[in-house]
Every structure is written in C-alpha cells, then in structure tokens.
Structure 1
Amino acid sequence: MSNGDMFEKNHDEIDFEFLGNIRGKDWRIQTNIYGNGSTSIGREERYSLWFDPSDDFHQYSILWTDSQIIFYVDNVPIREIKRTASMGGDFPSKPMSLYATIWDGSDWATNGGKYRVNYKYAPYVAEISNFVLHGCAVDPIEQSSKCENSESFGGIPTGITPTQRIKMGGFRGKYMTYSYCYDRARYKVAPSECVLVPKEAERLKSFDPVTFGGRRHRNRHHRSHSSHVVASSI
C-alpha cells in the first residue's frame, strides 16, 4: 500500500515484498513500513517461507488501524507493529491505495546483488485470486472518508489472539532471518516500537554476530620490529 502518487515527498507505505529465491533455497519475503517519507529509517523484516509461492495460491493479509499493523501469511500473524507516541509521523496514517507491482530489486534483494534477475525468463506474471478489501473509501480531492457499515467488519480481526500469538512466535523463531529491531550495526538502541524477544535475538545473533551482536570487524596490523645497529668509528 502506498500514497506516493498523492504525497510525493512525505508518502506512507505498508509493504509485502517477495524477494525471490536462489535455486534450491527457500523463498524469501520482506515486510516494511514508512510514514511521512521516512525512508531513511528502515523498518524491514525478512523471512523464509516454508512453501514455494509460485506453485499455488496462499493468503497474504495486512490489518492496518490507527494503532497497529499486523502482517499475516495463511492467517498466521508473522509481525505486529504497535504505534508508539515517539514514532510520531513515522507510523503510516494517511489514506493509501493498494498496488501490486513487479520490479527489479537485483541491487539488494538477493545477497546484495550477487544474483540478478535473468530476463531470458520474461515476461514475469503475478496472479491474484479472491481479493478482499475492507476499509474506508477516501475522496482524493476533499480527503474526506466514508466508512462502510460497521456490520461488514464483523469478520475482521481486531488484534492477535493468545493462540495466534503462540503461532506467531513459532513462525518468527523458525523463519525470521532479519529484523531491524536487532540490527546493532544500524541502531545502537532499538526503536521505541520494537518488542525484543531474547530467543529471537540469540537466533539472529547466531546467524550474523556482526549485525545482530554488535561486534565489529577489526583489521589487525602486524608491525615488524627491526633492530638498528649503528657503527661508529673513531
């Protein structure tokens, strides 16, 4: 979701991004949010999938309210962002439209550009089925909203149930490969909306102790010491 067409310099975004895969490896997806054009403050998380999304249809859902954002895969919540006062305008709050796009992210999506898109397999096609959208329509000129009848929201979740929270913990513990909340190379102190889970921190640190453990690569300089003999003659 985005409103970049209406707010070019201070747009909001809520993203589900499919990063592709390396042959024989798991597919990867990324979730991200921006508010008021805060693209310099990355809030990305990445995960492996336990299935090939090109083989069959799966359900990808986003619950967006004025206080929280929840991402789901096949009705399992995989990420929850609760709005905090210190986030300010970084929390997406302006009306957005829903887009589905295919674009080349070779420079960063696959191991920093190591594996690039092979255009001999073009054209690339995305298929969408059983699309459902609930929300408030907004007049693009007057910026006024008209909400649907509240009865039509009866089946829409308002949060994460205890059972779903257990499933979310299981998913994140097994499939999450990156979270900005634990990235000590970018943030010495985690942003206010982050809820740090020790098991998640330890798992990510085992993958990459430099990024998630706060260590630094050090170049060791070896000095060669030589003895100088001075001969003097009288």
Structure 2
Amino acid sequence: MAIRCLLLLLSPLLASAAGVSGGGEEEEAVLAMAARLPRPPAVSFLDGYTQLFGDSNLALHGDGKRVRISLDERTGAGFASQDAYLHGFFSASIKLPADYAAGVVVAFYMSNGDVYEKTHDELDFEFLGNIKGREWRVQTNVYGNGSTSVGREERYGLWFDPTEDFHRYAILWSHDRIVFYIDETPIREVQRTKSMGVQFPSKPMSLYATIWDGSSWATSGGRYKVNYKYAPFVAEFSELMLHGCAVDTLTRAPMCTPDIASIHNAVAMSGKQRSAMERFRTKYMTYGYCYDRLRYPTPPSECNVGPEAELFLPTGEARSMERRGRGRRHRRGPADSAF
C-alpha cells in the first residue's frame, strides 16, 4: 500500500525524470523506476518523527497519522523527523488555526542548525497569522551555509482560507534546485548558480513543524500581538511524507542508492507548470527580496531583475494591494499540477 501511494504521488515526477511522454511508455518507465524505490517512511508519527517541545501541546490522532500542535500562554509545540536527509521530496497537509491568529507563526521547514550551528542550511514555509477577517500569509525562506545575512525571503497572500480545510505544502530539494509547492502548484523555484556558491543548501537536513509566538514581528511588523483569549491556537498536520536520501546519523554518509538520488536531481518543471508558477507569482506575491532596493541596493547575484521590478516598492513590497488576492479563489487546472 505504501509503495502504491508513493507511486500515485510521484508518478509525474518520475516520468519527467525518465524523459517520457507517451501513455503506455510513461507508465512502464514509472513502474520501472518505482520498482527501485525503497519503501518510504511510514506515515505514523511514532515511526518517522519525534517531539521537540510542548509536552501536552502535541497530540496524536488517527493512529498517529495526524498530529495536532498548539500554542497557549504556557508554550508552543514542535516535532521533527527522526532522520536527516540529503535531497528529496517532503510534504504535509496542514490546517491552520482559525479566528484571530495575529502574532502566531506555524512553520514547516527543513534545517540542520542542530548539527551545523554556525553554517546551517534551511528551507522554510512560515505561515503568519493575522487579525480576524484578514488572510494568513505564507513566507518562504532559503538559507545556505549560515548565510542568514543574505535573507532570501518571499511572501505571498493565500488565495484560499487555510483554516477551513487541509492544504498541501511541499518542498522538492535537489542538487541544483529547490521548488516550493502549494496544493500542487509550484510557487517558487531557486536554481543553483555558480555565484551562490556554498549559500545553496547542500548539507543533510531534518524536517520540522512548529507553532510559536512571533508577536515581535509576524503581523504588521509586530503591531498586532498574540491575544491569548483566543487560545489555544491549533495547527493540524496529516499525510506527512518523507521521500529523500537519509544519511547515517554518525558518519553523515548517504544511505540511499544513486538511482534514488538521481530521481530528485533529474526532475524538470514542465512548461505548463512554469506558466502556472508565473501566474501565481504575478497575482499573489506581496514581497520579494530581489526587489528590496533598501536592503539590497545591488540585488543578490542570483536575482534576475527585469521590468517586473516596477511592480514593487523600494521596500520590496508589492505596489498593488490587489496582488494579495483578497477575496479570490484559485481554480486549479491540469496546467498547475506538479505531482
């Protein structure tokens, strides 16, 4: 069952890696590559994850297949994967806290800060709560080799209500690129360039999920704080997926075959997927570090800044409030599908 579920999720990725496009040939190529895949980690929390903090603010449901973490006046909560991974595909379906959530931060991310304190890598989804009636925002970050002074943040207004139902968030991390997805739509791609050097994440990372009090900065720069009369703030995670190249905890050596690593390295984004990503960014991107001329008078070397820079203020914020996508609903079509 686990192999079948993995195959259904990864089949377009595997087909793209195999370079096939025909129906029967594509299926054969996918089956051939899937036959070489190891059994993915079990969905059960106890088999794949460990609690970091929060004692009773972390609760398991559905035989350990769903995890709820909450924030109250006493503490937040968090968990992490038991293994660290070198490249792979990592995802979760997440339902965010409802009602007033200003100052609340829910994070789904990869990091190795526990091992490489001064030279850590990190790939983030950060969900930033808001006052009642205002949308949650999502921020993506990329850090490599401790380069936190060169923050590569982007923020987007969500085009759906993430508190009403589960939505899927995923990170594809290969040797030469990183792609963030929301509900199968690619929203950001970071391609490795020579100029980035060691600032491209390249060391094994673990997967984390946390909820915590970000009152000092998360909502309107700290203007709105966490209001604990609305506590507990509960985030729920399900369908946690770990499909990567695990490393030995002592030697940090990869424990996967070259075939498994090559799948993630070979995956290419289709033209339709790239168009879907560009449409998303045009509509919903509210901040881009490449356009922050106050922070970076000379954009970082990997930024390819063109005429679209006129859509952003010198602060990197989008000029038009309509770009927040307030009141809109995203209709996903075949062109948006990534998996």
- d(CA) in 2 for partners of 1:118 and 1:77? 33
Aligned structure 1 segments of 4 or more residues deviating by more than 4 angstroms: 151-157
- d(CA) in 2 for partners of 1:157 and 1:119? 47
Q: CA deviation at 1:140?
A: 1.6
Q: CA deviation at 1:113?
A: 0.4
2:185 alignment partner in structure 1 = 76
Q: CA deviation at 1:155?
A: 9.6
Question: Which has the bigger relative contact order, CA under 8 A and spacing at least 6?
Answer: 2
- d(CA) in 1 for partners of 2:179 and 2:275? 15
Among 96, 105, 109, the residue aligned to 2:214: 105
Aligned CA RMSD, in angstroms, stands at 2.1
- Indicate the SS of the match to 1:112: helix
Higher-Rg structure is 1
Contact 2:215/2:225, CA 8 A, preserved across alignment? yes
Contact 1:28/1:49, CA 8 A, preserved across alignment? yes
Q: CA deviation at 1:197?
A: 4.3
Q: CA deviation at 1:212?
A: 4.2
Q: Which amino acid aligns with 2:228?
A: Y
Alignment of 1:53-72 (within 5 A): 53-72=162-181
Q: 1:154 to 1:38 in 2, by over 3 A?
A: closer
Matched residues, percent identical? Answer: 62
After superposition, give the CA deviation of every residue in 1:192-222 in whole Å (9 maximum; x if it has no partner): 22232423x22223xxxx4249xxxxxxxxx
Count of aligned pairs between the two proteins? 208
Among 310, 314, 318, the residue aligned to 1:202: 310
Q: Which amino acid aligns with 2:315?
A: T
- Indicate the SS of the match to 1:167: helix
Q: 1:155 to 1:63 in 2, by over 3 A?
A: closer
1:228 alignment partner in structure 2 = none
2:250 alignment partner in structure 1 = 141
TM-score for both structures, normalised by structure 2: 0.58
Alignment of 1:1-234 (within 5 A): 1-147=110-256, 150=259, 158-199=267-308, 201-205=309-313, 210-212=314-316
- Indicate the SS of the match to 2:123: strand
Contact 1:135/1:148, CA 8 A, preserved across alignment? no
Structure 1 gaps of 5+ residues are 214-234
TM-score for both structures, normalised by structure 1: 0.82
Q: 1:38 to 1:162 in 2, by over 3 A?
A: same
- d(CA) in 1 for partners of 2:266 and 2:171? 10
After superposition, give the CA deviation of every residue in 1:118-161 in whole Å (9 maximum; x if it has no partner): 12222222211112221111012111111158479879981321
